[in-house]
């Protein structure tokens, strides 16, 4: 009986680990067929006989992204939506550009750990651990430095300098997803009740209403 229980526990652990990651490949590649009407976790495979080298390629990461926004940063993704050949391979990357004082605001990647390398410039980076510790880990990075943001934890990057910065990030998912905290909380559609947010943040509802107006989705 003890042996059977041990095997059941091992099976449960293996199953939970399998469900917590991207689908594993069962052949050399499974190039995403984004035109297929079939709905699966990820994308169905394109006929390998029509797969081309371009399905595994992307150009343009040498070019800075458009940082002309209120935060002064831009993310250029290279995930399964841009490179269909990444389907089932569990990896992607991004180029991130920052003007002086540019900020990639606090956000999470629900499906991926991120490892970031500064190519030019400098960055103040950090992440916060989960409740109830909520410990902040932060570090100033210079050219050539690397930093890891664990999966699902809130993190940020800020360029405190007076020159442009750019970095390359690798992520452990073909489609890591991004949840920007302020957008999700104050820009939800439909809006989260101001009564709920006022109590959650222990502030007046008028302040919540003002914040929601700043993040309201533009139609």
The CATH number of 70-77+91-175, from 1.10.40.30, 2.60.120.10, 1.10.1660.10, 3.20.20.10, is 2.60.120.10
- Position with higher pLDDT, 149 vs 16: 149
Name the band, by pLDDT with cuts 50, 70 and 90, for residue 41. Answer: confident
Asked if 186 and 212 count as a contact pair (C-beta separation under 8 A), the reply is yes
pLDDT score at 40 = 83
| pLDDT range class, residue 148, cuts 50, 70, 90 | very high
Q: What is the pLDDT of residue 97?
A: 98
Q: Per-residue pLDDT averaged across 73-78, rounded?
A: 98
Would the pLDDT of 35 be above 60? yes
| HSE-up of residue 187 (Cα within 13 Å, Cβ side) | 12
- Specify binding-site residues: 104, 107, 109, 114, 155
Give the global pTM. 0.85
Write the pLDDT tens digit of every residue in 155-179: 999 999 999 999 999 999 999 999 9
Give the β-pairing of 92-98 and 146-149. Answer: unpaired
Express each pLDDT in 114-138 by its tens digit. Answer: 999 999 999 999 999 999 999 999 9
- What residues form the annotated binding site for oxalate? 104, 109, 114
Residue 11, classed as helix, strand or coil, is: helix
Could you tell me which residues are annotated as the binding site for Mn(2+)? 107, 109, 114, 155
**How far, in Å, are 95, 97, 105, 114, 145 from residue 118 at the CA level?**
10, 10, 17, 13, 6
User: What confidence score (pLDDT) does residue 42 get?
Assistant: 82
Q: What percent of the chain has pLDDT over 70?
A: 87
Q: Helix 194-201 and helix 205-215: axis angle, to 10°? A: 110
Rounded distance between C-alpha atoms, residue 159 and residue 103, angstroms: 6
Stretch(es) of the chain classified as CATH 2.60.120.10: 70-77+91-175
CA angle (152, 154, 156) in 5-degree steps: 130
């Amino acid at each position: 009986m003890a042996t059977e229980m041990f095997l059941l526990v091992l099976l449960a652990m293996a199953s939970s680990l399998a469900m917590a990651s991207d689908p594993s490949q069962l052949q050399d590649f499974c190039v995403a067929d984004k035109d297929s009407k079939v709905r699966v976790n990820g994308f169905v495979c394109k006929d390998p006989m029509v797969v081309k080298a371009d399905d595994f390629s992307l150009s343009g990461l040498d070019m800075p992204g458009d940082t002309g926004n209120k935060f002064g940063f831009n993310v250029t993704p290279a995930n399964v939506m841009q490179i269909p050949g990444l389907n089932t391979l569990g990896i992607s990357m991004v180029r991130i550009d920052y003007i002086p004082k540019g900020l990639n605001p606090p956000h999470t990647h629900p499906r991926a750990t991120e490892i970031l390398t500064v190519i030019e410039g400098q960055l103040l980076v950090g992440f916060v651990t989960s409740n109830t510790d909520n410990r902040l880990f932060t570090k100033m990075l210079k050219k050539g430095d690397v930093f890891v943001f664990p999966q699902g934890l809130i993190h940020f990057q800020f360029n405190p300098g007076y020159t442009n910065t750019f970095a390359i990030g690798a992520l452990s998912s073909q489609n890591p997803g991004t949840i920007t905290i302020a957008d999700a909380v104050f820009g939800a559609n439909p809006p989260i009740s101001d009564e709920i947010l006022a109590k959650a943040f222990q502030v007046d509802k008028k302040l919540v209403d003002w914040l929601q107006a700043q993040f309201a989705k533009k139609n």
